[in-house]
Amino acid sequence: MNLLEHFVGGKLISGTSDKKSKVFNPATGEQSAEVRFATKNDVDKAVANASKAFEDWANKPPLHRARVMFKFKELIEKNSDELTKLIVSEHGKVYEDAKGSLTRGLEVVEFACGIPHLLKGEFSENVGTNVDSWSMRQPLGVVAGITPFKFPAKVPMWR
């Protein structure tokens, strides 16, 4: 039986828990894989890895970040049929619905490709007597997102 692993730091790693769960294809009801649950230690390691990656990412110029997003977009487009089939097998969606979810997520990625413009911030002179106002956009840190099962591609890409 296929054992699904955790993806941390750009590579697959085995969880340390002895607890597993069966994964079923919702369209057929057949077991398709198993997944090992993550322990608190597994999660702490993933957060530490993300925190370390954040330090480097936060110092990258917006143009570099945009290039990463363009590469991500390219990979989604190149592998869209395979990704759509994964959504079908894992969530029981019909192909066109799964493809639509992936397309909605891709639209968000396309928007994020404009990150150099989005990170400019704003400046307004004299919003009050001798008062100027400005905003700066800066990365804040690592976040986690718990997403609904019904939109497996779209909602995670919003994050």
CB 52 within 8 A of CB 89: no
Residue 26's contacts (CB-CB under 8 Å, 6 or more residues apart) are 90, 91, 92
Tell me whether strands 122-128 and 131-135 are parallel, antiparallel or unpaired. antiparallel
pLDDT digits over 29-82, tens only? Answer: 899 899 999 999 999 999 999 999 999 999 999 899 999 999 999 999 999 999
pTM: 0.81
pLDDT digits over 93-132, tens only? Answer: 899 999 999 999 999 999 989 988 878 888 999 999 999 9
Q: Is residue 105 packed enough to be buried (19+ CB in 10 Å), middle (13-18) or exposed (0-12)?
A: buried
